Structure 1
């Protein structure tokens, strides 16, 4: 896919994963099926997204080799978010930046992710180098973790990005502690990702989440991006949702003009 293809498909899919069945996935809670970059590129491009954000999946831990190889194969069209262990040298991080990495991810949800205490200890160590590189911190959390993120954001002074609607489910519609923390994060210029609907105790077409998306939009304004969560590891490999089915909830909740702004906002978050 060349520059002309991206011009015709200017949108951003800000949450995808690539997998290679030969890459070790020690302790994984699912067995990855090979899902190469070219496959998601073709699918996303057909729906107007010529730019991808490759997010390191939890099953590969801090072994980011496949993600980095895929970014380099993308020849600058895509961006990446990695998982780190904190022992990377400045030169290693600089090489990741050159490949297209723009953030680090903490995952407080998956069984092979991070413990909250581990993230709380590691982020302040990483913060000076992350600020120097201009990277952000992406969080996959449950709503009960949001108060911790408020504290960490104030302490570390880094842009935060909240995965998968910050973990909000219909059960959190009246959870004022969660919304108070979200308001604080939004006021500190955090971003939120409209993605992972099926991870939020909702079923297609996800109308139960529409009021939450609209309330989130009122808080975060233009600091929202969308991600397909392809290849949908929540599902069996033979039963993946249609790509458009995880985009339409954004259109229904926000309307077409605002939804299109969300789809282009990745250019701002992932320069």
Structure 2
């Protein structure tokens, strides 16, 4: 994979790569091959020269494909992996050298992390995360945000909340949820504007604009955007246009606010 001479400054902070190999046992979908080069060209054309490869749930903690893609990208991209919790220091160091900057817990997908396993796994790996400046990325339902706030306080780690923290239009008036988000933001958490179609909203996602603006008031510059390519919620031949997933950020925050979101990955994933 050839290096890009002048990568665009923006970051697409949530993409997946797939090959045609077997998914993890019990996976809820069989991935179609989607190589890194396919999303690289698309994202670069839309101002995002840097990608964050997120380990999809269907591969479990086998991060082989993600790490291969990172190593082939000449340091241009970053990665977020799923760990078993018992990795040796050398294995984690090799991930860091490849460009990994975080771990992910997915408590939503059928083959995601088992909730009972999260606390001990996080406790074991937290010292390494702090020493390397890694973060913890969470895909959870809003009902679990209070637990996240407690873990964030205990471990003094930056947390990243996937897919608008799971908020839906029904949470617009949920004051308790927003108070927990305020606590997370005050503790240094980030929020990722992504996965609109996972949030009980329909394109062009105008129902989510007030939530994005309210989140911006809490998280300020600690907001990143991700396309969630290749959109595993859709059949392979019916993927939404890439630009249509960026447009809600512009409509909610304006051109300048959206630009700040697109370039904020440079701070989080350095």
- TM-score w.r.t. the length of structure 2 is 0.98
Written as runs of structure 1 = structure 2, the 5 A alignment for 1:14-29 is 14-29=13-28
Matching residue of 2:93: 94
The total of aligned residue pairs comes to 269
Deviation of 1:21 after TM superposition, in Å, equals 1.1
Deviates more, 1:118-127 or 1:67-76: 118-127
Matching residue of 1:165: 164
Q: Deviations over 1:90-129 (max 9, x none)?
A: 0000000000000000001001011322212211111011
What's the Cα RMSD here? 0.9
Written as runs of structure 1 = structure 2, the 5 A alignment for 1:50-199 is 50-199=49-198
Q: Deviations over 1:172-210 (max 9, x none)?
A: 111122111100000001000000000000000000000
CA distance in 2, matches of 1:220, 1:80: 22
Deviation of 1:5 after TM superposition, in Å, equals 2.7
Deviates more, 1:17-26 or 1:167-176: 17-26
Partner SS, residue 28 of structure 2: coil
**Structure 1 residues without counterparts, runs of 5 or longer:** none
Partner SS, residue 173 of structure 2: coil
Partner SS, residue 49 of structure 1: coil
CA distance in 2, matches of 1:177, 1:234: 29
CA distance in 2, matches of 1:118, 1:181: 23
CA distance in 1, matches of 2:85, 2:132: 15
Partner SS, residue 85 of structure 2: coil
Q: Deviations over 1:62-97 (max 9, x none)?
A: 000000000001110000000000111000000000
Q: Is residue 270 from structure 1 mapped to residue 269 from structure 2 by the alignment?
A: yes
**Structure 2 residues without counterparts, runs of 5 or longer:** none
Matching residue of 1:218: 217
CA distance in 2, matches of 1:86, 1:48: 36
CA distance in 2, matches of 1:45, 1:261: 17
CA distance in 2, matches of 1:60, 1:116: 18
Matching residue of 2:6: 5
Matching residue of 2:260: 261
Deviating 4+ runs (over 6 angstroms): none
Matching residue of 1:231: 230
Partner SS, residue 192 of structure 2: strand
Q: Deviations over 1:16-38 (max 9, x none)?
A: 00000124432110110000000
Q: Deviations over 1:201-228 (max 9, x none)?
A: 0000000000000000000000000000
Contact 2:23 2:30 (C-alpha < 8 Å) held by counterparts: no
Contact 2:70 2:99 (C-alpha < 8 Å) held by counterparts: yes
Deviation of 1:134 after TM superposition, in Å, equals 1.1
Q: Deviations over 1:132-156 (max 9, x none)?
A: 1110000001100000001000111
